Amino acid sequence: MTKKEIPLFDHPIIETHCHLDYLKDKTIDELIEMAHLNGVEKIITISVDPENLDQAYNIASSNNNVFCSQGIHPHEAKKFNQQTLDKIKERLELKSNKIVAVGEIGLDYHYNHSPKDKQIEVFEIFLNLACEYNLPVVIHSRDADEDMMSILNNFQSKMKMKGVIHSFTSGVELAKKALDWGFHLGFNGIITFKNAQNVRDIVELTPLDKMLIETDAPFLTPAPFRGRENAPHYLPLVAQKISEIKQVPVNELLPILYQNSHDLFSLKSL
């Protein structure tokens, strides 16, 4: 592969975490087409705040093989209110196969854009919601390992569906606990960054059947395309790096990752 080339594989790939409504360089139709041309068969676009719940849901509802989540990111926990919860519950009551997870939810003590106690309160509300509707969760965790382990320990026995700690950059202890409880770990372009050996170490210890790949687009564009807006069509670069780290041929890796994603999110082909 040349320096500025995206590999093309024979097996389809599922983009488990991106934010299509945040991408600016191309239209939604263009992004989906480019993704498909690069082997990305299905896309999950993730909601993060009360303002983009509708965008994520509408993009998924309007496009074949695009799905969404519904939830509030810890940065936006301060915006959470009963009206937001009622809107999400109303959608979940529809049992639409387009809403495949509750998220993005969790804790972020790195920036503390919302107070810690509010983050915890909203996180637990959404974990209860996921239990009520038997949906997996998409979790964001940054600099909050102790509280994250404590909360997930309290909930793990009542969660029939677990979920994924996406864009995993936390410590080894949280990784091992989450895996023991049945959660998946999600990896993205960070694993291609020179200063991310700690994340590559987590990739090494993560069993293949508990691993998901994502872009988190428009953020975290993988090497060698850093500096550009990230997008789902860069996902093969993440798969390729996972293959290198795990020393598993891509043609053996991709069917496992595909099945993990399909099973966790109960994705339906349309």
- HEC secondary structure over 40-88: EEEEEECCCCCCCHHHHHHHHHHCCCEEEEECCCHHHHHHCCHHHHHHH
Cis peptide before 30 (omega within 30 of 0): no
pLDDT at 107: 98
Q: What is the pLDDT of residue 269?
A: 57
Residue 3 has pLDDT above 70, yes or no: no
Architecture of domain 13-265: Alpha-Beta Barrel (3.20)
176-226 pLDDT, tens digit each: 999 999 999 999 999 999 999 999 999 999 999 999 999 999 999 999 999
d(CA 192, CA 245): 10
Each domain of the chain, given as residue ranges in start order, spans 13-265
Closest by Cα among 138, 194, 144 to 169: 144
Residue listed under structure tokens 């994250």 = 148
Stretch 243-266: mean pLDDT: 98
Amino acid making up residue 107: L
pTM of structure: 0.97
Q: Band of the pLDDT at 1, cuts 50, 70, 90? A: very low
Q: How much is the average pLDDT of 119-128?
A: 98
To 5 degrees, how large is the angle CA 160–CA 164–CA 245?
135
